A and B are shown apart, each in its own frame.
Chain A
Amino acid sequence: MVNEWLTTFADRWTDIVDSSLQHITLSLIALFWAILIAVPLGILLTRYRKLAGLVMGIVSVLQTIPSLALLGFLIPVFGIGSVPAILAMVAYALLPILRNTYTGILDVDAPLLEAGRGMGMTRSQQLRMVELPLARPMIFAGIRTATVMTIGVATLASFIGAGGLGDLILRGISMVDTGVILAGAIPAAVLAILFDLLLAWVDRMVTPKGLRIRKEVN
């Protein structure tokens, strides 16, 4: 049986590569927009904390809609194709990034902000020089979670014709061919793991030495 699967893999190799690239592209576009929306929004919410509960609530509700249902809601408005697929993926990726940005910034030690303010930092200097650098590991962790989730959700994008590794899975299901299903599922899982590892590595590379020392001490 394993041999059969391996032949399926070999036969469909170009298909797998194409679908994987499509999958990655979709995911990256969705992540790009999610970060672009969630990070500034998270920062904004720390300045208008009264709104935080409301906004965070809305974003959490998005998260609870089952992904297939969400895709279904989007079709009447945006039709089928990659646009509604990416919209759905963005919706799911928002929460972890938003929440981590918000808490990451609020977690910055109050005395540090007070020292900064007392020395004459403007609001934007405080954000740029203190809050963002110190919240960065937390924000990064949110992005990692969002990435893994997005790569998973991207598999469902095929249902509305956006392509990606989901195509192989759907085809496998209709052909009742486990080999084809795996040809889609395994690369999707591998992609999720690879991206997670890659981001973990980047995180380590960009963490300032001063913060790494603190981690060791604690």
Chain B
Amino acid sequence: MKRTAVEFRNVTKSYGDKVVIDNLNLSIPQGHIVVLVGPSGCGKTTTMKMINRLIEPTSGEVFVFNQDVRKPDRAELRRRIGYVIQQIGLFPHMTIAENISLVPRLTNGKKGHDLTKIDQLLELVGLDAASYRDRYPAELSGGQQQRVGVARALMANPPIILMDEPFSALDPITREQLQDELIRLNEELHKTIVFVTHDMDEALKIADTIIIMGGGRVIQQGSPDHILRHPANEFVRGFLGEKRLSSHRSHTVADVMLPNPVKMSRYKGLAEAVQTMQRKRVTSILVADQDGRYRGIADTSDIYKRFHEESMTLGDVMRTNVPTLLPEMPLSEAISQVQNAPFGHVPVVNAEGKLVGLMTRASLVDLLAKPYLEEAMASGE
């Protein structure tokens, strides 16, 4: 059972008549990266700032490790919670080391910090301690500055770190790097990280738990995988976007079948059938009427067994007892049937009895390879 790091109980925040957070109940588990995500103005920042009391709720209670946040002194509370903001907020008149050691210096005065800890943290966030320790923020790139921002938040070893869109001002490459490093870092440190973003890709990438907010309420909370598989409603669906959903939606037979299998009328002679099969390089042929009505399937062996009987047509040799699939059948159910089919071929026939496609074992392999093919195509653009 995971401990709860932060808990909101019936929290409401309003400015005048405007209700910004509407009776919020929320429980944030310890040791995870929890991402608050939602459209602009939905109250993510407000929610986050109520944890370290930069904003006070109008009503309700906020608890940090089961203690009401109003109990400790405000400054005291904040020193136990790391804080990283989008604008980075390094103090320009202080060196990198002075910036990182800020929180312990607030508590213990000038000498109240551990110099080796500063170096360790610099290395932890991927900066060479010897060359950056005594520099000033203005000498660093935005990405390097935010690394220092993260190191500064870690200095007092707080169990909880709040991050408000920490990477959104950075260029895409740097952002990706810092996201990767945050994930790596927390595999090591197991902090409770409350991370605010409005970028769904970022949320899906770094989150252990995603909290989707909209209009001052929690719409859905769950793992990225859970949310992709079971979006709670249209709002979540819309926020995720069709593209992300389709790559995770459960597939149906129609998604992967061959839509235009080789087919012939049951009145065709066997010689003609063989010729078509040779031309199209297939080992079985589907039999259907002009209007598309499915009749059966004939394999090479079925045809050759009776080939010498010149009066025979496809209708005489085809098998009619082969199981078929409905196009809307979930793939998970179809897989075993495809595996057990006599030639690994299963006709797909819709409710009106019309032939719409053919499932083969090869279709399943294609499905597995699809994400990789798409990736290869995207990077080749």
Footprint of B on A, CB under 8 Å? 109, 111-112, 114-122, 125, 129-130, 133-134, 208-211, 213-214, 217
Taking a contact as CB atoms under 8 Å apart, the answer to whether B54 and A217 are in contact is: no
Which residue of A111, A210, A213 has the most chain B CB atoms within 10 A of its CB atom? A210
Are the C-beta atoms of A211 and B102 separated by less than 8 Å? no
Asked, given contacts A120-B75, A130-B91, whether A213 binds B138 with beta carbons under 8 Å apart, the answer is yes
B42-69: contact bitstring with A at CB < 8 Å (1 yes, 0 no)?
A: 0000000000101000000000000000
The answer to whether A211 touches B93 (Cβ under 8 A) is yes
- State which residues 224-281 of B face A: CB under 8 Å: none
Contact of A115 among B89, B106, B139 (CB under 8 A): B89
Nearest first, the 6 A-B pairs at minimum CB distance are A115-B89, A210-B136, A111-B87, A120-B78, A120-B79, A118-B83
A-B contact pairs, 19 of them (CB 8 A): A111-B85, A111-B89, A112-B92, A114-B89, A115-B83, A118-B83, A119-B78, A119-B102, A119-B103, A119-B152, A120-B74, A120-B78, A120-B79, A120-B106, A129-B91, A134-B93, A208-B93, A209-B136, A217-B138
Q: Is A117 a contact of B89 with CB atoms below 8 Å?
A: no
Interface residue ranges of B87-145 to A (CB < 8 Å): 87-95, 102-103, 106, 136-139
Taking CB atoms, residues of chain B closer than 8 Å to A209 are 136
Main secondary structure of the interface of A (DSSP, over half): helix
A118→B78 contact, CB < 8 A: yes
Are B106 and A210 neighbours in the complex by a CB distance under 8 Å? Answer: no
Whether A112 and B138, one on each chain, are in contact in the complex, defined by CB atoms closer than 8 angstroms, is no
Set of chain A residues within 8 Å of B199, measured between Cβ atoms: none
A111-B45 Cα distance, complex, nearest whole Å: 14
Closest A-chain residue to B93, C-beta based? A208
Cβ B75 vs Cβ A121 within 8 A = yes
For the complex formed, measure the closest distance between the CB of B319 and the CB atoms of chain A, giving whole angstroms: 73
Q: B106 contacts which chain A residues (CB < 8 A)?
A: 119-122, 125
Kindly state the separation between the CA atoms of A134 and B90 in the bound complex, as whole angstroms: 12
Cβ-based interface call for B77 (8 A): yes
A210 CA / B103 CA spacing, docked (Å): 20
Q: In the complex, what distance in Å separates the CA atom of A125 from the CA atom of B75?
A: 11
Answer yes or no: B328 CB below 8 A from chain A CBs.
no
A129 to B106, CA, bound (A): 10
Minimal beta-carbon separation of B156 from chain A (angstroms): 9
